[in-house]
């Protein structure tokens, strides 16, 4: 059974290309579907991701850990009901 999570965090210094080079790369490697996007000019990031519970847990670990140069602040994680059909792909919305 698949699980869906909405991950949000705020950080005004999200590195250029972070969503594509880090978030999307790990989501695809774990076989997850969903989307990621920066909301507004204040740097809020929203990630909606669906997949197997084990893959979701691994993905959450990766997001919390961040990269050597960037660690997200104030990460909030909440379950949600899937409203969109992601068609098995993880997309970055710019």
pLDDT band (50, 70, 90) for residue 47: very high
Report the CATH number at residue 47. 3.30.70.100
Structure tokens at 64: 């919390």
**Residue 20 DSSP class:** I
Global pTM value: 0.90
**Residue 86 is part of which domain span?**
3-93
CA 33 from chain center: how many Å? 10
Region label for 24, one of left (φ > 0), alpha (ψ between -120 and 50) or beta (otherwise): alpha
Residue 12 has pLDDT above 80, yes or no: no
Q: How many domains does the chain have?
A: 1
Structure tokens at 27: 């989501």
> What are 50-94's pLDDT values in tens digits?
999 999 999 999 999 988 888 888 899 999 988 888 899 999 998
User: What gap in Å lies between CA 11 and CA 4, rounded to an integer?
Assistant: 23
| CA gyration radius, the chain | 12
Strands 33-39 and 76-79: unpaired
């Amino acid at each position: 059974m698949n699980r869906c999570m909405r991950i949000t965090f705020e950080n005004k210094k999200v590195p250029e290309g972070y969503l594509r080079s880090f978030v999307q790369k790990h989501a695809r490697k774990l076989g997850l579907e969903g989307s990621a996007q920066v909301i507004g000019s204040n740097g809020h990031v929203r990630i909606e991701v669906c997949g197997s519970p084990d893959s979701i847990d691994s993905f959450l670990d990766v997001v919390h850990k961040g990269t050597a140069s960037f660690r997200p602040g104030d990460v909030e994680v909440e379950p949600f009901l899937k409203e969109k059909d992601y068609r098995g792909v993880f997309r970055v919305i710019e």
